[in-house]
């Protein structure tokens, strides 16, 4: 079980006049095993939302709870996948993946078994002994996802995980993530500014306003996905052609554009 709740969350950075209000009146409940994507214009505080669940930041007012417990710091029940991968450059692929298990005190044999499973899940066979700098960006992010999944966390937090990848790799990773999420469902909070990605991956898409970020709209994609049977399509482009997909993508685009033009004014 892992339910994430934001209750009346406000977050400001800095103080004494030099600060700014990043987030305001954030109320959101993410159900167990639900995949929620947050989209919003840059600087709207969407990453900050994720960081407060991770325990890297704390709300200025209001509470962020996971399973009814207020978040007091980072922990392995809430694994994070970072945009810039954040792999340990001096550790091999296996060592990177194994670190969380070692910290938990998982025995060596069990650890090796689980690392192997994660390696298989992410298609990293043959790269176990490689160092991160020897891998492409896409492969590095696979390692980072394996490192998160191997912990079997209640919550998976992903901060623009595919933002640093090229378009093709990005598409592959999105398809893989859907595959993995189906096999191994988790509560996921996914931060992105790519609208297609959000609609393709998420059960619900949260649209945020420009700074100070507030929740503008929450869109239920899951019911559309089920009704229109998106899951029977293997490839992302087939889903992206569907009328229902196009409808919501365009809806979210417009909503975001309003925010953007408001920002430019």
Partner 1 sequence: MATAQTTALTRFQTLFLGTIGILLFLGIWSGLSLSGLVPKQFLPTPFEILSKFVQLLSTPFAGGTLQEHLLSSVLRFAYGFFLGAAIGIPLGLMIGWYRLLDEIVSPIFDALRFIAPIAWVPFAALWFGTGIGGPILIIFAGAFPPCLINAYRGARFVNRSLIEAAQMLGTSNTRIITEVLLPASTASIVAGLRVSAGLGWQSLIGAELIVASTGVGFMMVQAQLNISTSIVMSAMLAIGLVGLCIDIILRWVEAAVRRRGLA
Q: List interacting residues with partner 1 (CB under 8 A).
A: 54-56, 73-76, 78-80, 82, 84, 86-90, 99-100, 103-104, 131, 133, 147, 151
Closest distance of CB 111 from partner 1, Å: 13
Does residue 95 contact residue 115 with C-beta atoms inside 8 Å? no
Closest distance of CB 57 from partner 1, Å: 10
**Alpha-helical regions (H) of the chain:** 46-54, 93-104, 108-121, 137-149, 167-183, 195-201, 222-228, 236-241, 243-264
Report angle CA 67, 208, 13 to the nearest 5 degrees: 75
Closest distance of CB 101 from partner 1, Å: 9
Q: In this complex, which beta carbon is closest to partner 1, that of residue 76 or of residue 138?
A: 76
- Round to whole Å and give the CA distance between 39 and 238: 22
Closest distance of CB 153 from partner 1, Å: 9
Tokens representing 72 are: 């007091």
Q: In this complex, which beta carbon is closest to partner 1, that of residue 163 or of residue 233?
A: 163
CB atoms within 10 A of CB 1: 10
Closest distance of CB 236 from partner 1, Å: 28
Q: In this complex, which beta carbon is closest to partner 1, that of residue 20 or of residue 88?
A: 88
* Cα→Cα distances 251→38, 136, 263, Å: 15, 34, 19
Q: In this complex, which beta carbon is closest to partner 1, that of residue 159 or of residue 203?
A: 159
Instruction: Read off φ and ψ for residue 257, nearest 5 degrees.
Output: -65, -35
Q: In this complex, which beta carbon is closest to partner 1, that of residue 124 or of residue 150?
A: 150
Tokens representing 170 are: 């990005």
Q: In this complex, which beta carbon is closest to partner 1, that of residue 26 or of residue 53?
A: 53
Closest distance of CB 165 from partner 1, Å: 17
């Amino acid at each position: 079980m892992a339910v994430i709740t934001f209750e009346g969350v406000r977050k400001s950075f800095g103080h004494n006049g030099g600060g700014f209000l990043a987030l305001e009146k954030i109320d959101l409940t993410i159900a167990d095993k639900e995949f929620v994507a947050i989209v919003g214009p840059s600087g709207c505080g969407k990453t900050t939302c994720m960081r407060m669940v991770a325990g890297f930041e704390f709300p200025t007012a209001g509470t962020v709870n996971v399973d009814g417990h207020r978040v007091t710091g980072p922990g392995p029940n809430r694994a994070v996948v970072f945009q810039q991968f954040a792999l340990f450059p001096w550790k091999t692929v296996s060592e990177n993946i194994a670190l969380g298990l070692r910290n938990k005190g998982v025995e060596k044999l069990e650890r090796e078994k689980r690392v192997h499973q994660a390696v298989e899940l992410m298609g990293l066979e043959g790269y176990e002994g490689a160092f991160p700098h020897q891998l492409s960006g896409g492969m590095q992010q696979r390692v980072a996802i394996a490192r998160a999944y191997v912990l079997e966390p209640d919550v998976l937090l992903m901060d623009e995980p595919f933002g640093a990848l090229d378009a093709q790799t990005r598409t592959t990773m999105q398809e893989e993530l859907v595959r993995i999420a189906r096999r191994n469902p988790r509560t996921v909070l996914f931060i992105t500014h790519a609208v297609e990605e959000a609609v393709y991956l998420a059960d619900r898409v949260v649209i945020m306003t420009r700074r100070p970020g507030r929740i503008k709209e929450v869109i239920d994609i899951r019911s559309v996905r089920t009704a229109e049977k998106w899951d029977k399509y293997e490839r992302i482009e087939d889903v992206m052609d569907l009328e229902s997909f196009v409808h919501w993508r365009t809806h979210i685009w417009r909503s975001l554009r309003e925010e953007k033009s408001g920002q430019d004014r």
